[in-house]
Structure 1
Amino acid sequence: MRYSCKKNTQSMKKSVAILAAVWVTAVSLQAQVEPAASHWKTWFIPSGKAYRLPPPPAYKGEVTQVLARQQSLSAVGRQQIMYWNAGAPGYRWQQLMGELWMNGSSREGALANMLLGVATYDATIAAWDTKYAYDRPRPYVVDKRIKVYAPKTDSPSYPCEHSVAAGVAVTLIAHFYPSLADSVHRMAQQLMASRVAAGVAFPSDTQAGFELGKRVAEKELQHTKGFVPKKEWDGKRPEGTNYWQGKPSFPLAGLNKTVALDSSSQFRPGPPPDFAKEMEEIKNFKPTFRSTANAFFYADNNFWDDVLHKKIFEYNLHLNPPRAARLYAIAAIGMYDGFSACWDAKYTYWGTRPDQYDTSYRPVLFFTPPFPGYPSGHAMLGSIMAELYSYFFPSEKTYFQKKAKEGAESRFQGGIHFRTDNEVGLEMGKKVAAFIVEKIKTDGADDELSLPKQKKGGL
């Protein structure tokens, strides 16, 4: 009982500290934005300081450029400002990558998604080191003729954090999805122009930020070059009633090099049971409107990405780029490591699915994913996300866990997973997430939350 009380007290203190940091960031224009973030640990680069930029040029000559952009601002330009104002610097790019990798068939999709989150975070930490090394004021601060068409922030102007995220995204998307290279380059140019026209960045801020993002992304592509094995599957598979049959998707994903986990097999479960009793259970299950709706909802929605965007908005963390980037990075690592661990188990045991175990059975979802069923990927990845989000938003733990269970149950309701697939997936997810949480506790961001310090006077 004494330990439980102590643990609850620590959790409450952490919740209060997070809410305090969010509140000050959201409402105080005099508060610095995470000035200590430059000391947070990075994942694939040595440190933020290792990528510190040279001093910015004098901004006097650029004031006229900002004013000229604002004077010639068109309706389309205003729309671009509004579009890129939404969310944290990485928000629009995270949305795009979520669509690309979740709906694609590339064996490197999970790697691409993970790298976008991690490289944006690492590059943001590097940007924060440069920002507070030179403390360059924003355009609307240095010249009152410059209007501000974006949320005001008291973080320094150089380099532009939105352009940093763009440099990362363009480099990675062009690498993994080369047919989109021209499109994302145009998007980045629009983003950079919008920051200048909004009065929150000088042209040199956007250019420096974009180049910094590119440099970090290129380094991290190099660092992760061998993470996804290039070798082909040898075609070997077990035969029998309990084993899944079909053309497998990503059969070697369990060999991926992990980021936070020691290996993909670190939390590999034991073998699945004989599914005779569970086949009887699923055949006796009577679908309802509610159960069918739940099955289709989780089959057709990227729920965990969507809810993270939502919580970042709700907690005003979109106004705190380092913390938003940290959240996106850790979620992406959880997804990548979890995917690798789940696929390790799937292709270790080749557990069958209901419609193969009993060919007379027809699942509610009228399709079966092209890979083994044990354990459930939906259950495991949902469990990981629920535990990670609960760490960052502890007051909403019950909500996240409820959604993880709903997602797992949806696979049984849809008729494409046995009960054991889901139960084992949920348990694996908790173990993976707990291991990741222990890692991120040492990154410096939560040791002593860097509450913004008040400056004397106003802007």
Structure 2
Amino acid sequence: MKKYFYFLIGLLSSVVLLNSCMEELPTHFEYQGYEFTDLDPNAGQWRLVMHQSPEQFTIPAPAASGSAELNRELTEAKENISKISSKQKEAVDYWTNNPLLRWNEIALELATKYNLIPAPNPDGTYPAPDAANPGKYPLFPYAHPPYTSRMLAYLSVAQYDGLIMAWHYKYKFKRQAPYELDPQIKSAYDANKLYSYPSDGAVIAISSREILTAMFPLEKEFLAQMAQEHLESLILAGINVSSDVEAGKLIGAEVAKTALARASTDGMRNAQTNKAKSDSIKNAAKVRFGWTWENQETPQRPVGLTPLFGLVRMWNVPNVEAVRPGPPPAPGSEAFKKDAEELKRFAANLTTEQRRIANFWNDGLNTYTPPGHWNRFAKEKTVKYRLSPVRTARVFAFMNMAIVDAGISCWDAKYYYHYPRPIQTIPGFKTILGTPNFPAYTSGHSTFSSAAAEVLSHFFPTDAPQFRKWAEEAAMSRVYGGIHYRFDAEVGLQQGKAVGAYSVAKAKLDGID
């Protein structure tokens, strides 16, 4: 089933893919509601990311079991369930009892939809998205890898803090789910016996709606529709009554407000700078190292992609200097020549498998970018190991914090060193994937992937060899594609691993993994 994919079609129908072997766009993630391996009853005591206390936002105590108020809610739930339509039943099946995965899926589809670089104007200049006027071409946002990584971090952290709070109150009030209170109500999913007040699903629905609406303002109506359908499904699934939902909505709204307040001052609004500032960064690198990156586009874009993303506030790494790598080999040096010759050999003798790897990991325009790739992997492992919603949120929060921190550190290195791409330094060299609009060193794919692999290896140690193999493959894919030198990729892997280690260290402070 490819439900909710329709909203991508209008924009994507006008896009011509450059390579028919590129990875397909994200589609519906097939999984069903499942029995959780562990209910994580102590999750209400886990360390919050953005908040000080799980009772920072208070919710009213629920009506007692057997009370007239709760009995009325149970009766209303039964009436609604008895009149459920086929469309509503489809929605119940879609959202499941771990709906964080659905909202992550929606986030990736929106990233795909908005990952469109603006075309040049007739005079050779380039328009830029305007957050104050998102409907004007080019549409806001341009969901490039830095933007997408940041969006996923705010989404995941808000979900995580919200669910820790929900778990705190669940085990404080211990209200049983409707299907346990009334034998006439059946759960649409495996009966996990999870306490129902407040609704964890409602926390996820509202926090996700608010974060994604801020990140993709043109999708406000679509996201409101999805949230409303999700909230309705909680009662129709037999897992919540209306007061459960209302309490969850309160928490979801408050954690989203905190997350968006942080986002408003994290420096992202200044990441895409003007030409004068861009030129000053370039000139500083020229003085420092004797080389600079030159954009190879025609017409040439005057400013690279987000030159000041390296100044955006990090989540778990103290500062970019803590993970900034040493300088790359100087162009013309023996170390440089060695890797340049390797690129020429790959270009002349690329195998079918190497081309497949380059295309699979391309993650270019109209894809969910490298961070999206790793979110997909995390979803697959969450379902495989049947994690509870709060445990799922933990994985996504620490992984996506590591991914955006890796992106910030990578962009710091890119513009600090301002290192030229192979297409600039090797006469007559051509790539099979095009050339990104930002400097080479270090590789973004490598840093994003290695950071994600480090965190996922912590949470899923049995699968650690596979995660690290994927990270290495993602790094080499850029070498096969002619976009990076081997040293870009290898140093990027080291950089990403160092970033991921900070996120893992923060997770270990809880002593629960």
TM-score range, shorter chain: 0.7 to 0.9
User: In the alignment, which residue of structure 2 is the partner of 1:284?
Assistant: 345
Match of 2:217 among 154, 169, 178: 178
Cα contact 1:254–1:265 (8 A) shared by 2: no
What is the rounded CA distance, in whole Å, between the counterparts of 1:27 and 1:361 in structure 2? Answer: 53
What pairs up with 1:53-452 in 2 under 5 angstroms? Answer: 53-57=59-63, 58-85=69-96, 88-101=98-111, 103=115, 105=142, 108-231=147-270, 232-233=273-274, 234-236=277-279, 237-238=282-283, 242-246=291-295, 247-273=303-329, 274=331, 275-285=336-346, 286-300=349-363, 302-317=372-387, 320-365=388-433, 367-446=434-513
Distance 1:162 1:26 in 2: 16
Give the C-alpha shift of residue 242 in structure 1. Answer: 4.4
Are the equivalent residues in 2 in contact too, given 1:278–1:419 (CA < 8 A)?
yes
The letter for the 2-side match of 1:136 is R
Q: Distance in 2 between matches of 1:399 and 1:108?
A: 27
Deviation at 1:27, TM superposition (A): 7.0
Residue in structure 1 matched with residue 47 of structure 2 by the alignment: 41
Q: TM-score, normalised by structure 1?
A: 0.86
Counterpart-to-counterpart distance in 1, 2:343 and 2:290: 17
Q: Distance in 1 between matches of 2:424 and 2:390?
A: 47
Give the whole-Å Cα distance in 2 for the aligned partners of 1:435 and 1:133. Answer: 32
| Counterpart amino acid of residue 250 in structure 1 | T
Report how many aligned residue pairs link the two structures: 415
In 1, Cα distance between equivalents of 2:212 and 2:36: 35
- Greater shift, 196-205 or 55-64, is seen at 55-64
Rounded Cα–Cα distance in structure 2 between residues aligned with 1:279 and 1:101: 34
Q: In 2, distance between residues paired with 1:141 and 1:326? A: 28
Instruction: Please say if residues 60 and 247 of structure 2, whose CA atoms lie closer than 8 Å, have aligned partners that are also in contact.
Output: no
One-letter amino acid of the counterpart of residue 169, structure 1: S
Asked if 1 retains the 8 angstrom alpha-carbon contact of 2:327 and 2:417, the reply is yes
Unaligned runs of 5+ in 2: 1-33, 64-68, 116-140, 296-302
Can you list the C-alpha shifts for 1:392-446, whole angstroms capped at 9, x where unaligned?
1111111111111111111000111001000100111111112221111112433
Per-residue deviation, residues 311-357 of structure 1 (Å, max 9, x unmatched):
0000011xx11111100101110111111000000000111111111
Contact 1:161/1:209 (CA < 8 Å) preserved in 2?
yes
Q: Distance in 2 between matches of 1:189 and 1:235?
A: 44
Counterpart of 1:330, as a letter, is F
- Cα distance in 2 for residues equivalent to 1:220 and 1:303: 24
Partner amino acid, structure 2, of 1:304: W
Secondary structure, aligned partner of 1:299: coil
Tell me the amino acid that sits aligned with residue 316 of structure 1: R
The C-alpha deviation readout for 1:74-129, integer Å capped at 9, x for no partner, is 1101100000016x231111112223346352575433221100010000001111
Do 1:85 and 1:151's aligned partners in 2 also have CA atoms closer than 8 Å? no
Q: Return the letter of the residue paired with 2:351.
A: T
How far the C-alpha of 1:147 sits from its partner, in A, is: 2.1
% identity of equivalent residues: 33
CA contact (8 A) 1:77 1:194 kept: yes
The Cα of 1:173 is off from its aligned counterpart by 1.3
Question: Which whole-Å CA distance do the structure 1 matches of 2:107 and 2:373 have between them?
Answer: 15
Moved more, 65-74 or 429-438: 429-438
> Where does residue 56 of structure 2 map in the other structure?
50
State TM-score, norm by structure 2: 0.77
Partner of 2:26: none
Secondary structure of 1:62's counterpart equals helix
Deviation at 1:310, TM superposition (A): 0.3
Q: Distance in 2 between matches of 1:47 and 1:223?
A: 17
Letter in 2 for 1:439: K
Between the aligned partners of 1:335 and 1:111, the Cα distance in structure 2 is 8
What is the CA RMSD across the aligned residues, in angstroms?
1.9
Residue pair 1:241, 1:357 contacting (<8 A) in 2 also? no
Distance 2:191 2:316 in 1: 35
Indicate how the Cα distance of structure 1 residues 229 and 325 shifts in structure 2: closer, same or farther if over 3 A, else same. closer
Q: Secondary structure at the residue paired with 1:245?
A: coil
